Amino acid sequence: MNRRQLIATAAASAAALATPALARQASGALMSRPQPPVANKIPVRIEQLGRVRVDDYQWMKDDNWQAVLRDPTLIKADVKEHLTAENAYREAMMASTLPLQATMFEEMKGRIKEDDSSVPSPDGDWEYYVEYKTGDQHPRYMRVERQGTWMVDGQPVTKNFIVAPTPQLLLDANELAKGKAYSEVSSTEHSPDHALFAYAEDAQGSEVHKIYVKDLATGEVLPNPIESANGNFTFSPDSQWIFWTNRDDNGRPDKIFRRPARGGEATLVYEETDDGMFQGVVRTADNRFVILQIQNQETSEVRFIPAETPTADPVVLEPRVAARRYDADHWGDRWVIRTNADDSIDFKIVEAPTATPGKANWTDLIPHTPGRYIEGVALVKDYLARQERADANTRIVIRDRAGAEHEIAVDEPAYSLSLGGAYEFDTTTMRYAYNSPSTPTSTYDYDLESRERTLRKVQEVPSGHDPADYVVERVNAPAADGQLVPVTILRRKTTPVNGSAPLLLYGYGSYGIPMPASFSTGRLSLVDRGWIYAIAHIRGGSDKGWGWFLNARRNTKKNTFTDFIAAAEHLITTGHAKAGHIVAQGGSAGGLLMGAVNNMRPDLWAGVIGQVPFVDIINTMSDTSLPLTPPEWPEWGNPIEDVEAYDYIASYSPYDNIEAKPYPAVLATGGLSDPRVTYWEPEKWVAKLRPATTSGKPVLLKINMEAGHGGASGRFDYLKEVAHDYAFAVWAIDRGWEKA
């Protein structure tokens, strides 16, 4: 009998001493309510750097996890049995939410235009796009012959068809997914000569990919696909070769290979000996080079291969130096490099000669400005566009070769601009997209010379949506150290701001990844029910610049958690929420945030949703066999070698800081094939949290037995997962477990 059963039995016995009627009621409630699975405790003593910890649930980690990622059927029987029991318990507890889940799913589905397509992107004689047919879970990749006038090698080309050309199907991902529980096309690319089309498929959610190459003249998928890839690849500028990144048995990108594009023997191009570095391969904007980008969270290095010698060994652009990052592209006659060198915390842009691109020859093109974080650069023949972030909003700045600049800006309190760039180099048109929490996405083509923009598409919401019905606000929550944490708020105009509305507070706060103030049709299923939806732009992300990230990593990581708590407290002060009437949500490293704030301030939350939560951090960062452990030491610290890092991680690790206290209702989710946050992290968290909570509120686990880190692969199946999580939020506010 577990602790919860003992407490319930004791309560029933106490009632029996009072009145027989009360005793019968208590006993009936105990018998009718679903009972949670009881996880076996098998204590394992771990001694590390003179510290000792005891892990009761280490048995949940499958020692054969590498094989399980590739074939989930190989999971240990006792682990599968426990996960199956946890899923059944959650389903039984949340059975009353099934009508709400179904309603929310239909709402979300109704907001999606089922027969939809992207704006075609021109490249040479073709325009490429993606479409969905009604009922399709997966996209269809298409192209159509291009009409109009465009530039080729500096000369105009004009083609006009009397009859509109017939689109050509490159790949139907629905056919690829047939008979599979999971199928995700992670990346696609056509060859520069438009003769081949390649795509990378993950068929189990473990991010182990096969790369297929299709001959577009014959329609044949060529034999011998590339195995054990991480999904990243590119063709050589002459279209004769394909380069890709290998994925080793520990899930790391360890090598870059090359082979003839139509098949043949693979040749090793580069092998990275540092387990802590990621790597990828891409072509430059002007098709002059193949780029090998090697990096972790704080250090990077670029190597390049000239287009005219695609089989040559890669050349180092500038040797790596600890804590210096840079990335590079080529602008026709020079290198353009984004870097944090020379104490440029928020990055600057430099240029360098094609033949001598090392740092000794770097010249500032766009100097560093503190607080203006340069996120990325897009190049065409005569223009450079950069995307910047400041105060949790974005802007796009256009610069010509003479140095004249102008800005694409939006006058709203919270919004998102995203720079799409262009396939072609010899063009004066770039694409960008705009949205806000209340406004669906608009896609524009922007003429860099005339500064005219052409609206190409507005995201359609078939069931209807009027942005005027909503209010978007931006408030700044004061943190304990005086920093101001931006918080983006979305609500209906009719929703009162007096603490009576339930509020969902979302956060992430790691790796320098910002949370955009963007539009989401799914959120409307809460907001239209009188909820307030808020995003906390906390430290650990780059929402207020790269320094915003640097101020919440390693031994300052707790700033992420205290910022989130400060955001919640400020929303209470402003009348947007009240304590105990907030649901907190975050995923992956945002799940670490959920676990930490759940321990630190359980009184603030009615519910906590930890999606694929990274909660067993001290154990994970001490296991060098796991895919992300060495690459993530710059983010968290190395608890294997550094006592200070061990102690600091141990002081906030959600799994290690669970204690007897009244926790809110908790939902943890995970995927059996997840290589990033392995399934046993949420499983162990729930096993330890459930007997510790004194509130009587449920702790639930949902493990997708057929998916990985990103959840279900189909667009409608994914919506079902969103509807489930939002239904849990409503259930937590309404104390739905009391009716279970």
Phi, psi of 563 (to 5 degrees): -65, -40
Q: Are 534 and 571 in contact (CB under 8 A)?
A: yes
Dihedral, CA atoms, 513, 519, 525, 529, nearest 10 degrees? 100
**Alpha-carbon distance values, 99 to 32, 94, 478, 611 (Å):** 21, 10, 40, 22
Query: Among 123, 327, 346, 674, which one carries the catalytic annotation?
Result: 674
Sheet holding 226-235, edge to edge: 184-190, 196-202, 209-215, 226-235, 241-246, 255-260, 267-271
Using the structure block, give the residue that is written with the tokens 């047939």. 178
Using the structure block, give the residue that is written with the tokens 């919440």. 552
Per DSSP, helices labelled H in 575-714 are 589-600, 617-620, 629-636, 643-652, 680-692
C-alpha to C-alpha distance for 401 and 387, rounded to whole angstroms: 17
674 is an active site residue = yes
Q: What is the DSSP string of 12-37?
A: HHHHHHH-HHHHHHHHHHHHHS----
Query: Among 82, 576, 709, 724, which one carries the catalytic annotation?
Result: 709
User: Exposure pattern of 508-541 as b/e (b: 16+ CB <10 Å)?
Assistant: bbbbbbbbbbbbbbbbbbbbebebbbbbbbbbbb
Alpha-carbon radius of gyration of the chain: 27
Query: Among 588, 653, 673, 713, which one carries the catalytic annotation?
Result: 588
What letter would DSSP give residue 72?
Answer: G
Helix axes 558-573, 643-652, angle to 10 degrees: 30
| Residue type, position 26, single letter | A
C-alpha to C-alpha distance for 469 and 461, rounded to whole angstroms: 14
Q: Are 725 and 669 in contact (CB under 8 A)?
A: yes
C-alpha to C-alpha distance for 628 and 297, rounded to whole angstroms: 12
588 is an active site residue = yes
Sheet holding 416-421, edge to edge: 416-421, 429-436, 439-447, 453-458
Tokens of 153: 């090698």
- 3 three-state secondary structure: helix
Q: Are 432 and 425 in contact (CB under 8 A)?
A: no
Q: Which residues contact 536 (CB under 8 A, 6 or more apart)?
A: 477, 485, 487, 505, 506, 507, 509, 515, 563, 564, 567, 568
Q: Which residues are catalytic?
A: 588, 674, 709
